[in-house]
Amino acid sequence: MMPLYLSLLLMLSQEGDLMLTERVWDALVKSFASQMKSGFTASSFVKEIFTVGYPKLLTMIENLLERISRDTDVKGIPPALTSDGKEQMVAAIENFQTAFLALCLSRLTDLVNSVFPMSRGSVPSKEHISRIISRIQEEIEAVQLDAHLTLRVLREISKALLLLAERAEYQISTGPEARQITGAANPAQLKNFMLCQHLQEVHTRITSMITGLPTVAADVLSAALGTLYGVAGDSVTSLFQAMLDRLESCILQIHEQNFSTLGLDAAMDNNASPYMEELQKSILHFRTEFLSRLLPSSGAVSVGTETICTRLVRSMASRVLTFFIRHAALVRPLSESGKLRMARDMAELELAVGQNLFPVEQLGAPYRALRAFRPVIFLDTSQLESSPLLQDLPPSVILHHLYSRAPDDLQSPLQRNKLTPLQYSLWMDSQGEDQIWKGIKTTLDDYAAKVRARGDKEFSPVYPLMLKVGSVNGAGLMTKTSSMVKPKARPTFILLVGCIMCIWMSLKLDGFAHKGSGSGKHVNGFIDAVLDALCTCRTVRKIPVAQSNDRCKPGGCEGFCCPGQIRKH
């Protein structure tokens, strides 16, 4: 039997008419909307109360709608409220939402304008930046219970962040004084440092605030945060570029050094190469005057985060290692004593970068390449093809180094095209490994033509090896062959130098250790460089493991101890 109230509803409604509940709701919404409009336009008091308290007003309306829907949810009866009906009620207070969002933006922009005036003046303090961050946090917390309103507020915050980035960018010093690297940090640079740190702080804190919000919320702010991050980087990018240019100019001086000197005296020389000394001084100066002010302390940054300046320093350290390996490979000629000198320079470079720029172990491929190139230069040409060390080196580095083992009539691209090392390096920066190989292949073809023209029947052993390395260039790095060729003994001169070095070191090490930490450190670094370079952990040594200590890794040297352990024996 049909319920009485349902029969009454059917009697009062004609076919095609709205249900009685819908008609009642329409009338209610129209009346409510009229009152809200009147309050918004006629009463400044009501407008202010409902605008400032719009999040609470919206919450009350949504709670009312939810309660009506819940209380009228009866099985077999159409819902009292439709989705359109709910939207009508929320739309009735839309004027207050618009005013609330405008007020939100006004509060934020007024604060930004007060902290960053249009005129170039003093940099705001940390307290000023904290006020901006706190204001943004308050705006988010006020609306976080409503997802849709949160997105709208985040759009207003995005506008405020873009304004902040614009005002901060206007304050950045861009003149020559911002790029000077010879003296102490000047006022213009200190100003840029503070701007970078302030913007970094805003970026980090805002990113942390929206971590728990839906992905769409983060998307709303991504563009503004990206702009903020970019401006922060721009404030110090010119300085970092100037520092990198200086370090690269120091490395380019490697081509002014003589690595072809023969004799034991050159190998035993414990002084760093002049270009390396200049590089070390520059790195230390940059660390003392600039990086110490830009990089956060170890406890200031949470685990897993990387500041803008840390990223720039990491990039600079990687470039220094990569640039050095590139030009070390271009050195020609390279004598046996020159190899020892270069190995010492590599050890000094690793120490300088690791202590003053960035932990080298965290630099990835550039560090692996540096560690691989050191022993590679001591390998016989016949050993190179089967060496797994080549897997950590770009093909161009291997190929360029092989020119130092080639006869004079096999010209490098540098020589063939009459380029300076700087010009060739700039060209390499703009090319890939395949294009570099094409230039190298041209020199190999020229060499082959010269050999045939002379009527010679044999090529230099370097020639077929370079062709093989280049032929696998398209597949990446040279891979280890399936059948390992047993390495031949090293040249007698190198082994003789190594033995003399070890004897000299064992007799003099204690004396150097008492002359001062500086002398001892450089001597030890030099000795380690030589011994590390001599040890590839593949050539059998004549020091039984039984005489070694914990520093020898089990099985690392095929049952024998590396010469690096002689110091302990």
Express each pLDDT in 480-527 by its tens digit. Answer: 333 323 333 344 444 444 444 444 444 444 443 444 444 444 445 444
* Distance between start and end Cα atoms, the chain: 105
Please, which pLDDT band fits residue 310 given cuts at 50, 70 and 90?
Answer: very high
- Domain count within the chain: 3
User: At CA 409, angle to CA 407 and CA 413, rounded to 5?
Assistant: 100
Q: What pLDDT does 552 receive?
A: 38
> Is 364 within a domain?
no
b or e along 39-74 (b: 16 or more beta carbons within 10 Å of the residue's beta carbon)? bbeeeeebbeebbeebbebbeebeeebeebeeeeee
pLDDT, tens digit, 9 for 90 and up, residues 82-107: 777 677 777 777 888 899 999 999 99
Quick one: pLDDT band at residue 79, thresholds 50, 70, 90? low
Same domain, 444 and 537: no
Average pLDDT over residues 224-228: 95
Kindly write down the DSSP assignment for every residue of 413-465, as one continuous string.
HHHHTT--HHHHHHHHHTS-HHHHHHHHHHHHHHHHHHHHHHT-----THHHH
Q: Is residue 179 part of a domain?
A: no
Q: How confident is the model at residue 69 (pLDDT cuts 50, 70, 90)?
A: confident
Q: Is residue 9 part of a domain?
A: no
Q: Say yes or no: 432 and 475 in one domain.
A: yes
Of 440, 465, 487, which one is at a domain's C-terminal end? 487
Predicted pLDDT at 164:
96
Structural domain includes residue 200: no
Q: Which residues on neighbouring strands pair with residue 75, listed in sequence order? A: none
Greatest Cα-to-Cα distance within the chain, rounded to the nearest angstrom: 117
Mean confidence (pLDDT) of the chain: 80
* Residues 38, 83 within the same domain: yes
* Residue 358: predicted pLDDT: 96
Q: What domain range includes position 447? A: 395-487
Q: What is the pLDDT of residues 448-459, one digit of tens each?
A: 999 999 998 899
pLDDT in the model for residue 500: 47
For residues 323-341, average pLDDT: 95
**Domain final position from 455, 487, 519:** 487
Could you tell me if residue 425 is inside a domain?
A: yes
Shared-domain flag, residues 126 and 32? yes
d(CA 482, CA 89): 76
Q: Are 146 and 62 in contact (CB under 8 A)?
A: yes
Instruction: For residues 39 and 129, state if they share a domain.
Output: yes
What integer pLDDT is reported at residue 229 of this predicted model?
Answer: 94
Same domain, 46 and 138: yes
Scan for tokens 């520093």, then name that residue: 551
Query: Are both 503 and 442 inside the same structural domain?
Result: no
Are 474 and 505 contained in the same domain? Answer: no
Residue 165 pLDDT grade (very low, low, confident, very high; cuts 50, 70, 90): very high
497 and 483, same structural domain?
A: no
Instruction: Kindly report, residue by residue over 29-67, the tens digit of the pLDDT.
Output: 777 767 777 777 777 787 788 888 888 888 888 888 778
State yes or no: pLDDT of 305 exceeds 70. no
Q: Taking the CB of residue 415, how many other CB atoms lie within 10 A of it?
A: 14
The confidence score (pLDDT) of residue 539 equals 36
Among 427, 459, 487, give the residue marking a domain's end. 487
Is residue 126, in this structure, part of any structural domain at all? Answer: yes
Asked whether residue 285 is assigned to any structural domain, the reply reads: no
Over residues 167-176, mean pLDDT: 92
> pTM for this one?
0.74
Task: Give 562's pLDDT tier (boundaries 50, 70, 90).
Answer: very low
Question: Domain check: are 407 and 526 in the same one?
Answer: no
How far apart (Å, rounded) are the C-alpha atoms in residues 261 and 264?
10
Whether 49 and 161 map to the same domain: the answer is yes
Locate 505 and state its tokens.
């070191």
* pLDDT the model gives residue 261: 77
